[in-house]
Every structure is written in structure tokens, then in C-alpha cells.
Amino acid sequence: TKTIILKHRPEGKPKSSDFEFIDEELADLKSGEIQLKLKYVSVDPYLRGRMRDEKSYMPPFELDAPIASMVVAEVIETKNDDFKKGDVVTGMLPWKKEQISDGKNLTKIDDKNVPLTAYLGVLGLTGLTAYLGFTEIGKPKKGETLVVSGAAGAVGSIVGQLGKIMGCHVAGIAGTDAKVEKLKSKFGFDAGINYKTTENMRKAIAETCKDGVDIYFDNVGGEISDAVLYNINKFMRTINCGAIATYNETSVPRGVSVRPFLIKNSALMQGFIVSNYEAKFDEARKQLGKYLKEGKLTHEETIKEGFENIPEAFMGLFEGENTGKMVVKI
């Protein structure tokens, strides 16, 4: 079966030659096992971190071994009583077109209420990250101003909508005019800024957030975040969710250059890793499902087609090729 392995640890931006396609023989199905065929594969910025040989909250990928991410797969053969042929499951699995599994850590899903891809996005780790980061660290209050970076992406587009549901004034930062337009027309943000065409981000944020910034949901880090942090209010909270602007840097990223502003404003800045909040996943998923059902929350996916395009889809994240969740349909 077709398999994608990590051939080289990327230097700077990941490139095609960092990945290799190999053919692996499938073992015979043993008692208690199921055979799965991939249907959808999630590609995520955090996978870039696992391609480094560094200690982090998840172990690094090994060289010459398959890369893994969250997927949706179909059971095509079964010798496990818990699964029948045609069942659809989601879980963290390697990038192998077909594979054998013992069925552990897989969750059965269906497309009765939402498309299957939603389990990789709004009802998966993406939605949980948005909801738990925003509520647990952001602690939003009605009338406050929220700024979201990476706003048109998977996590960001949900955070902005949650901000509106919870009564905040919401501004988003994204990389194209079309994305900025969509923030307002589809996701209900009050304002948007294109960081690629705006010369003075600090000023643009001041103009967009007339009452200052109370909550900053940070998906990108780097200079964009410094510009936001120049505009903060007393007791503001930053959710340090991601720093995609620095993931491909080859030197150690610089520290926050706005420390005096944090001190002056008694601001809180907290790192966030979704897996630390596992105890709240059920509650968060329930709430997200409720918002979806009530039509208060919408979600979008950018879907690329073909197993052979998984690396390309992943690399596309660093070029802003996606709006909403980037998913590969197999």
C-alpha cells in the first residue's frame, strides 16, 4: 500500500524532497484486527514541529517512518467484533492508503448531521482548540475586543465566530483581501486586516480596535503579534496557540519585544496545548455541536484531492492556500 515517510527533516520551509512515497506490503488480517482505507487526511501546521528532532509535547517523527495525523477511514475488512465492514472511524493514523489496526483509539463517526470532514475540523481538534483556548484562557466578557491572527484558517475562523457568540467586538488578521472579506461576510467578524498589504500593523490595529485589545488569540506569533500587543488594555489575555510565522525559522525565535506593554497593562500571556484540556473535550464538543445545530457557527474546508497530494497540501499551509480547515480527500 502507498505510504508517505519522512525522508529528511525540513530545513526552513518543508519541500517535496523531504517526503518519500514507498510501497509497503500489508500483513494478513489477524483476529481482533480491522483493515482500513483512508478517506480524508488532516494536514496541520503543528506537524512541522514533529518533523524537528526536538523534545516537545509530542515526540518527533522518526526518519524513514510514516508521518501520522488525524484521519477519517473506512473499515473494509474486519476480524474485530466491535467493527463491521463499512464503519467509518476517526483517529490518529499513519499516512498509509490502507492499513491494519487493532481498533484502539478509534472513534466511530457518521455523516448524519455533519459532513465527515467536520470531525477533522470544527468537531475535531481544531474546534476544541478554538473553544477551549478562547474560553479557558481568553475568559471572554461581553463588550470586550478580541483580535484573532491566522483568522481565516481552521482554528481562527472558529475563534472569531465564538467571539461574536460571546458578545465581543472581533477583528481578524489574514493574508489576502479575499480572506479578509470572507471574515466579515461569512464568519461575522466586525473587521479584518490584510497583514500582507498593511504597512503599519500597529496603527491598523489601533484604528480597528478603538477601545484597545482585551483578548488576543494568537495563531501566528512573530511581528504580527508584536503589533497587536502594542495595543493592549489592562488585564488583557493572550492565548499563545500557535506561531506559524516562526515554524520554519532555522534560528531560535526572538522573544517578545513588547514586554514593557505587558507589564504596564498587567497582561496575561499563556501557552495553550489542546491535549492538556482532555477532561473538557466532551463538554466542548457538545457546545460546538449545539452552536452548529442552531446555525450560530459555520465552518469551511479547503479540500485537496489525492493521496499523492498530502505533502503538497501540508506545504500549502505555509503559503496560505487554505481558508478554514485544510483536508485531503483520498
Beta carbon nearer to ligand NDP, 75 or 183: 183
258 vs 263: CA distance, rounded Å: 9
267 vs 122: CA distance, rounded Å: 29
35 vs 44: CA distance, rounded Å: 25
Beta carbon nearer to ligand NDP, 37 or 184: 184
Cell matching residue 209? 480596535
Beta carbon nearer to ligand NDP, 36 or 51: 51
Shortest reach from residue 292's CB to ligand NDP, in Å: 17
7 vs 16: CA distance, rounded Å: 10
Q: Which helix (H) or strand (E) holds 233?
A: strand 232-240
92 φ/ψ angles, rounded to the nearest 5 degrees: -90, 115
Number of helices (H), then strands (E), belonging to the chain: the values are: 9, 15
73 vs 85: CA distance, rounded Å: 12
Shortest reach from residue 241's CB to ligand NDP, in Å: 5
Beta carbon nearer to ligand NDP, 17 or 56: 56
Contact (Cβ atoms closer than 8 angstroms) between residue 197 and residue 177: yes
Beta carbon nearer to ligand NDP, 10 or 103: 10
Shortest reach from residue 85's CB to ligand NDP, in Å: 32
Span between the terminal Cα atoms of the chain, in Å: 13
Shortest reach from residue 196's CB to ligand NDP, in Å: 7
Beta carbon nearer to ligand NDP, 271 or 306: 271
Shortest reach from residue 37's CB to ligand NDP, in Å: 25
Shortest reach from residue 122's CB to ligand NDP, in Å: 11
Shortest reach from residue 224's CB to ligand NDP, in Å: 6
How many Å is the Cα radius of gyration of the chain? 20
Residues that bind ligand NDP (CB under 6 A): 44-46, 125-126, 129, 150, 152-156, 174-176, 179, 219-220, 224, 241-245, 272-274, 317-318, 320, 322, 326
Cell matching residue 261? 506593554
Contact (Cβ atoms closer than 8 angstroms) between residue 120 and residue 325: yes
Beta carbon nearer to ligand NDP, 80 or 246: 246
Closest by CA position to 222, among listed 133, 150, 273, 122: 150
